[in-house]
Structure 1
């Protein structure tokens, strides 16, 4: 039996990790998030509300639960929020990671840290695991700093970087590119969509599966977990509209410079995922397949 502590369990990845692992008899899951448990599935695991910025609370949780593995998915991930609230971003993304790592070192837990393509500057994507990091915004900088702390830790560690995660969230306030395009085009609204940023979008279930593979193998080091298709948000929107038989004429190509956003976005990220395929057996869905899965889930 493997005891796994999942942070950020109210988030999109957290939700799929809890569902996937708690359904299997060989895992005991302790989920933690801020405030109440907002997942629809409330059975089959233990939930504890913990403020990760509270050192004593974090260490207390780890000492009480004695996990075999910690999947640290909790983070402040909205780049513009991070740019506006740098202190809060650093606290959640960096300091909390340090507290969790200290707990992991003490108990011997394997530590998996979730990171992002935003640690790269986007000048030379798609990226491999050993390409040099060079963030262009504060969110990316906070995750790059946390990665350095993880790499210096005495705990057995892995870092899973990912790109533009999409999927159906229990929390209806969380939209993603598919639901955003769908709801606007169904209302016959025009949509401006960026066509000069490239990503390899990642289905939430695939990312959860990749994390499971890492903790099962206790695979140490850095892994890139994402989809394979290099697409712009405009490309994705066109595929969504096409799949749902909605009006593509309502989609307008724009470049990112037209948006007033506090955080600069890297132009071309995306990942080469050969290492994860070879060493973990990671096999992500194509964007087309992922789109089908999400639309079916939305239908339910």
Structure 2
């Protein structure tokens, strides 16, 4: 049985990985995050506080547990925040990865790094793994820099790029497209939604599966992991409205230009998933199925 250490275990993806390992007993898990553990149960895994910006702490914690693999989920992911705070973004998204690379090198550990569709410019999606990167935002740039550091290293690395992750946990530090849309529609708040950006939204459970498959199969290289449905952000919001029988007449479709966001977004991303399906046995849910899973989870907590 492999020992897996997860960074950012308090986040949505981190909690889904914890949930899956605890339920299946498929690996030994060391969950790490900055601050106290937010996962509701302490059974079936170990938790250690670890700030990825503190190289000495990273070295000590990983050196102590000696995992077979590190799944690095901690990052600055808000695109506009990253654009406005490039220094902090660089520290979190690039320097922290350099620290992990050197620790994994010293201890012979596989490093699974979470990247993004924002490494592409969106001129020609859906993208394959070997398509040329050309980020439009500082966030995308920081992810490309980290990817390059991995590719130039001698460690066993796996890059998992993903798109617009959605899902729910019982202690969320930030929202996501589906929860945001559902919340706004239920409150009947008028919302503007872009109709010219195309994505393939990814269920957090599917992404957690892919991360664990990458460990199990000792995968190397880059993998594209997302949902299988290709649609505009406006379509996503409409499907959320339809699923929960909410009125979408309050939704106004707008073009990206009208939003004045500080960071540029790629227009058409989306992924070609053949490699992940063939190499690691990745099998994503449809968006409808994802909403159903989300709905069941929400109901089971009330």
Provide TM-score, normalisation by structure 1. 0.97
Deviation for aligned residue 1:173: 4.5
Cα distance in 2 for partners of 1:228, 1:55 equals 38
SS in structure 2 of the partner of residue 171 of structure 1: coil
**1:75-224 pair list within 5 angstroms:** 75-224=75-224
Cα distance in 2 for partners of 1:286, 1:17 equals 20
Deviation for aligned residue 1:109: 0.9
Cα distance in 2 for partners of 1:155, 1:286 equals 34
Cα distance in 2 for partners of 1:77, 1:16 equals 17
Cα distance in 1 for partners of 2:173, 2:112 equals 27
- The total of aligned residue pairs comes to 300
SS in structure 2 of the partner of residue 23 of structure 1: helix
Cα distance in 2 for partners of 1:49, 1:263 equals 32
Which deviations, in whole Å up to 9, do the C-alpha atoms of 1:114-159 show, x marking residues without a partner?
Answer: 1000100111100000001110001000000000011111111110
Which deviations, in whole Å up to 9, do the C-alpha atoms of 1:176-235 show, x marking residues without a partner?
Answer: 222222222222222211111000110000000011111001010100000111111110
Cα distance in 2 for partners of 1:7, 1:286 equals 28
Say which is worse superposed, 40-49 or 289-298, in terms of deviation: 40-49
Q: Indicate the residue corresponding to 1:43 in structure 2.
A: 43
Cα distance in 2 for partners of 1:30, 1:150 equals 22
Matched, 1:52 2:52: yes
Assess if the C-alpha contact under 8 Å between 2:11 and 2:173 holds in 1. no
> Which 5+ residue runs of structure 2 have no aligned equivalent?
none
Deviation for aligned residue 1:42: 2.7
Cα distance in 2 for partners of 1:125, 1:9 equals 31
Q: Indicate the residue corresponding to 1:30 in structure 2.
A: 30
Deviation for aligned residue 1:45: 1.2
Q: Indicate the residue corresponding to 2:226 in structure 1.
A: 226
Cα distance in 1 for partners of 2:249, 2:70 equals 46
Assess if the C-alpha contact under 8 Å between 1:19 and 1:41 holds in 2. no
Say which is worse superposed, 19-28 or 209-218, in terms of deviation: 19-28
> Which 5+ residue runs of structure 1 have no aligned equivalent?
none
Provide TM-score, normalisation by structure 2. 0.97
Task: Mark the CA change 1:173 to 1:221 in structure 2 (over 3 Å): closer, same or farther.
Answer: closer
Deviation for aligned residue 1:58: 0.8
Cα RMSD for the two superposed structures: 1.1
Deviation for aligned residue 1:277: 0.6
Deviation for aligned residue 1:23: 2.7
Assess if the C-alpha contact under 8 Å between 2:224 and 2:276 holds in 1. yes
Cα distance in 2 for partners of 1:17, 1:225 equals 15
Deviation for aligned residue 1:171: 2.4
Q: Indicate the residue corresponding to 1:262 in structure 2.
A: 262
Assess if the C-alpha contact under 8 Å between 2:129 and 2:224 holds in 1. yes
Cα distance in 1 for partners of 2:255, 2:170 equals 31
SS in structure 2 of the partner of residue 96 of structure 1: helix
Deviation for aligned residue 1:284: 0.1
Q: Indicate the residue corresponding to 1:252 in structure 2.
A: 252
Cα distance in 2 for partners of 1:20, 1:111 equals 19
Cα distance in 1 for partners of 2:42, 2:229 equals 34
Q: Indicate the residue corresponding to 2:235 in structure 1.
A: 235
